[in-house]
A and B are shown apart, each in its own frame.
Chain A
């Protein structure tokens, strides 16, 4: 009889199913995974060290680049930490805008997850549909901040500027007919809020389209049901948060349990799973898409009825209006101090967490009273999820590893920081 030996396979870091730069060392017995050892850090940029050398307001942009598919949620945790230390009051309209964009971001993230997860498992078309809707949401980002991904829209004290009154429209082009142009500009006739409202009205139909393609699909179920089961106790032990924890049946959502911003005024439900397998997590995230749409509709309604300021008028932290700077000495000084030195935070430490699309995203900020953070620790949800890779994939087939990477919703920007 020939000698049987375990086979060690190097998976990634350049593999389309590795979601970026994951390197997995897999020990295989035939096609069954005996041990998985993820090697991370290939995208390590030293965000924490960089943030220590910069005034507070200059690090908001780094937050976008952590989890680069849910940008504004990262910013939210960061500005909340600063606001908590300064005791800064944020105008209510700004809070509503933040909640609305947090949920838009959640949908963007989940669409990205859904598309790539399905693509990894073998369903090509969902990816195309998901990215069609994601494009609409990226347009909202662009309309509000000028940037399609890295928005830097949330600032300590509010948001950078109010929502635009006019939604940008497509221009005439040789590539499309006049009829087509009218069609694609149809929902861009009003303000950004009208555009978002139109999206929120149409989106439930799209969610149905995705779930028609997947939920009862035989192949999809064969690949997901009973794969990567994590019990509620194990999920807590492994430090899971977000849909990963809820998929295992633990009812925990920071938006409900420790409401921040104006989430306590929102009506929405928290979906939880039963068995804790990949299919449950899929269902949880699909339901979250519906709930996020609900929250967006509520925000749009409120924002349409309640105009007001979107930035704190404490000019020690928030920049003064440019018009005022031209004839007001104090504004001039505020502007100068703010952009040459920044502002000092009181001595102390805070931990601020938000319900990020992937789980709990936290910022632990230590200040010694200076204009730069003394230490900033970014608690990324993906980090503890990926740490459970070994346990989740043990005893499964090689192809299930891909499903598990998909269900963990890993993005290397935040895992490696």
Chain B
């Protein structure tokens, strides 16, 4: 791994590589994704894209106890979290690469802002990215340029919203039931209240 780190530092500069928990992370500019990935596949033998996923950093590092915790008693964790911090680069796309040949792994991370949720698709570099990108689009709303078939994949037909975003409520926004008079299923706004049994705490 040390050798790989050296080579990566040589190729991409010192600041973009970090090591933690015995894993390497390479942070890249979202515009360079195609060039970097091609280089990683061809020069560094990362022949398999193990995983691709999105992430939303909206409430990163915030706990339920901050703010007016004591004034509102047990309802404190019931309200949807309102983020006070504006995050410049709220979203991220994370690639997990594996080199079967050299027995090495690498994590590549590209950050995106809400105004520009576009990133180049890597389906031409690793074909396995196809469904993973559809999933990231479905759950986070990240758009992959040049993806040939960017449809929703996990959520229901006709679903609205991106459920894994931090501002999407846990209980969802609509509920479905069968309406006997209309003789079909209908969607209505959710009738249950959000509830958090264990508040989120951060202890250093």
Contacts and interface: CB of A to CB of B under 8 A. Distances in A.
A270 to B, nearest CB: 13
B135 to A, nearest CB: 8
Interface residues of B, number: 44
Given A41-B156, A344-B203, 18 more contacts: A40-B154, A41-B154, A44-B155, A236-B48, A237-B127, A250-B100, A258-B103, A340-B198, A348-B20, A350-B23, A351-B51, A351-B105, A353-B50, A364-B51, A370-B63, A371-B202, A375-B56, A383-B135
B46 to A, nearest CB: 10
B202 A379 contact: no
Contacts of A49: 163-164, 170
A238 B49 CA distance: 8
B100 to A, nearest CB: 5
Contacts of A241: 48, 50
B200 interface: yes
Contact of B96 (A41, A340, A347, A379): A379
A297 B198 CA distance: 43
A364 B131 contact: no
Given A41-B153, A44-B154, A369-B202, A364 B127 contact: no
A362 interface: yes
B202 A368 contact: yes
B155 A384 contact: no
B204 interface: yes
Given A40-B153, A351-B96, A371 B128 contact: no
Interface in A316-366: 340-342, 344, 347-351, 353, 360, 362, 364, 366
Contact residues of A: prevailing secondary structure: mixed
Nearest to B129: A239
A387 B128 CA distance: 7
Contacts of A344: 201-203
A242 B71 CA distance: 53
20 contacts: A49-B163, A53-B170, A236-B47, A236-B48, A236-B100, A237-B126, A237-B128, A341-B201, A344-B201, A351-B96, A364-B94, A366-B55, A368-B60, A371-B202, A375-B55, A384-B131, A386-B131, A387-B128, A387-B130, A416-B154
A85 interface: yes
Interface string B55-86: 11000110100000000000000000000000
B138 to A, nearest CB: 8
